[in-house]
Structure 1
Amino acid sequence: MSAASLIANHMNVPYGKIVSEEDVAASFRHGRLSASNLEANAILAFFFNEIEPSLIIRCAREVGVSLQTANALYKDTLVRGCCASPSWEEAFGACA
């Protein structure tokens, strides 16, 4: 199973199937929340706090984007009012 699919499935648990694998992949590719609808974007906005950094890094690699692009996605979630993720910031700093 792809990392994007694992992330989508995890984020969908409380809501039902709203976030798709493609929503996750598109957000990584664009470096900002880019799901197919606003509800999916709202759910995805919190994934840096929900998902282990190792899976986020795996997803970035599978989608073919740099960690800098993944971090741009993280910064987009912060601008939208989401909480900082110390675990992501530590992992990104260690990889940078």
Structure 2
Amino acid sequence: MNSAIPVAVAHLNAPYGQILTAEDLTAALRAGSFTKMAHPSGSDIAAAMFIELEPEQLLACVNEVGGTLRGLQGLYEESLSRGLARVPGWEQTAEQLL
């Protein structure tokens, strides 16, 4: 792993302690689903990545692990279904790239 994933995991874990792992975030990004995470307790933290991280950071993470933009958009839609707030910055980025 280069650097985008560890930085994202550290940022997302900051308020909670070491719950989300780099491996789980990688699995979710590759699969386009939070259900692929080995430790489901981290999935709620990972779902907040659209709120907590800039679109450029999200794109760097998905590129680093060989995921797809469509998979990343699927994660965003899954986060909305969990009741998280819409993120206009991500929506604009996704609209431009998809």
**TM-score, normalised by the number of residues in structure 2:** 0.89
Give the structure 1 partner of residue 93 of structure 2.
91
Contact 2:31 2:67 survives alignment (8 Å): no
The structural deviation recorded for 1:35 is 2.7
Give the structure 2 partner of residue 40 of structure 1.
42
Give the structure 2 partner of residue 74 of structure 1.
76
> What secondary structure, in the 3-state scheme, does the structure 1 residue paired with 2:15 have?
coil
Give the structure 2 partner of residue 3 of structure 1.
4
1:26 matched to 2:27? The reply is yes
CA distance in 2, matches of 1:80, 1:36: 19
CA distance in 2, matches of 1:43, 1:87: 19
The structural deviation recorded for 1:5 is 1.2
The structural deviation recorded for 1:54 is 0.0
Question: Number of residue pairs matched?
Answer: 96
Measured on the aligned residues, the alpha-carbon RMSD in Å equals 1.2
**Contiguous gaps of at least 5 residues in structure 2:** none
The structural deviation recorded for 1:37 is 2.1
The structural deviation recorded for 1:10 is 0.3
Contact 1:4 1:22 survives alignment (8 Å): no
Hey, which bits of structure 1, 4+ residues long, moved more than 4 A? none
Counterpart AA for 1:41: S
**TM-score, normalised by the number of residues in structure 1:** 0.91
